[in-house]
């Protein structure tokens, strides 16, 4: 078969493929606020990262699924990114993944078998890094390439960390840089520099395993991962779920090294614009903020970092612990305050 760019086969890429937050809210509008099953600790009620079922007083099962279309052209890298992104939901809940199932949809009339095998090999490599098997899965012939995982994890009930348990006065820590969507937009147009691609790949293939360590820390109150809805969208889910207002200092956000320059040059995803249309009414921005800077705040992250709400007095020590674990961009970016649920950017 003729060589083809994976990203040319997809209308979107990575977590930018997610349905807009406003559409998702409409689809889930009739779901009950309280779950009828006592064992279901986390379901659809709080826009959290995974479902959690309590088996007994010692064990919870965490279940999640995540899949998307290519954000890069190298099939092995695509598999690695998709797998790391899927496992992130387990880590964000405070869990330890134990196995995964592959989700695969491929346009077999456009991609050869070796390309598909490379995607699967990339996913297997990340799962091996996490210490888990891919125990099975499901595949279909589809119009666009799709890959991801259904992941299962375990956690002690006391270590479950929801996105809705932030406290007033908490500090907010972000563990990875922001800019995956910006970089992917430049990549799709073949203008992303080689060093920037390497930066994006290093971030998107880094497992968020620090989440299971943070969940054991009594001063860590809430965790979520920042993915397709951008920093503002996932921060807003935390604010709404916790019934508080989040204040973000944009000067403290760890952006990818070339993200600001690329955003100003117009490399912005359609998902970033859809994100703002979905939740912009609940976000207060400085009057002077240019549109390209707003795009950085709504930029969809594929396999992004964790947003952590923790006791303010312990925030720097916790940030230092995260940094020492290999997350060099870990930064304290804001605080949780009393007020109408929403986000204020300063």
Catalytic residue among 15, 17, 60, 155: 15
Structure tokens at 344: 């204020």
Runs of H (alpha helix) within the chain: 21-27, 75-92, 113-130, 180-188, 194-204, 210-214, 230-242, 259-264, 270-279, 291-298, 315-324
Residues 6+ apart with CB under 8 A from 280: none
Nearest one of 137, 92, 94 to 119, comparing CA atoms: 137
User: How far is C-alpha 114 from the chain's CA centre?
Assistant: 29
CA 26 to chain centre: 21
* Separation in Å, CA 110 to CA 5, 8, 107, 120: 10, 11, 6, 17
Residue 322: closest CA among 336, 305, 334: 305
Distance of CA 319 to the CA centre of its chain: 19
* Residue among 303, 198, 284 at smallest CA distance from 245: 284
Quote the distance between the C-alpha of residue 38 and its chain's center: 28
- Are 198 and 143 contacting, i.e. CB atoms less than 8 angstroms apart? no
Coil, helix or strand at residue 66: strand
Is 15 considered catalytic here? Answer: yes
Q: Which residues are catalytic?
A: 15
């Amino acid at each position: 078969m003729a060589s083809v760019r994976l990203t040319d086969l997809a209308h979107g890429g990575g977590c930018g493929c997610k349905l807009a937050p406003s559409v998702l809210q409409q689809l889930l509008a009739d779901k009950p606020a309280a779950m009828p099953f006592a064992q279901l600790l986390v379901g659809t009620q709080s826009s959290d990262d995974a479902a959690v079922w309590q088996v007994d007083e010692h064990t919870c099962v965490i279940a999640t699924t995540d899949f998307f279309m290519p954000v890069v052209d190298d099939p092995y890298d695509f598999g690695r990114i998709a797998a790391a992104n899927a496992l992130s939901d387990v880590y964000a809940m405070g869990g330890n993944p134990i196995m995964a199932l592959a989700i695969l949809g491929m346009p077999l009339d456009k991609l050869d078998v070796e390309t598909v095998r490379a995607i699967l090999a990339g996913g297997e490599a990340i799962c091996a890094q996490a210490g888990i098997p891919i125990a099975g899965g499901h595949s279909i012939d589809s119009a666009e390439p799709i890959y991801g995982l259904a992941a299962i994890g375990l956690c002690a009930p006391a270590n479950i960390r929801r996105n809705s348990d932030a406290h007033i006065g908490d500090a907010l820590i972000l563990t990875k840089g922001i800019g995956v969507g910006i970089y992917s937009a430049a990549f799709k147009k073949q203008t992303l520099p080689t060093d920037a691609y390497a930066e994006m790949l290093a971030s998107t293939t880094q497992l968020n395993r620090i989440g299971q360590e943070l969940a054991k820390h009594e001063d860590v109150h809430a965790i979520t991962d920042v993915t397709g809805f951008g920093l503002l969208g996932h921060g807003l889910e935390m604010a709404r779920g916790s019934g508080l207002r989040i204040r973000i200092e944009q000067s403290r956000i760890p952006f990818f090294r070339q993200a600001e320059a690329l955003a100003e040059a117009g490399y912005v995803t359609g998902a970033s614009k859809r994100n703002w249309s979905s939740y912009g009414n609940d976000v207060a921005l400085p009057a002077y903020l240019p549109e390209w800077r707003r795009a950085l705040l709504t930029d969809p992250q594929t396999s992004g970092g964790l947003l952590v709400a923790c006791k303010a007095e312990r925030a720097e020590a916790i940030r230092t612990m995260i940094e020492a674990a290999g997350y060099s961009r870990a930064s304290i970016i804001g605080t949780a305050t009393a007020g109408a649920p929403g986000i204020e950017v300063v």
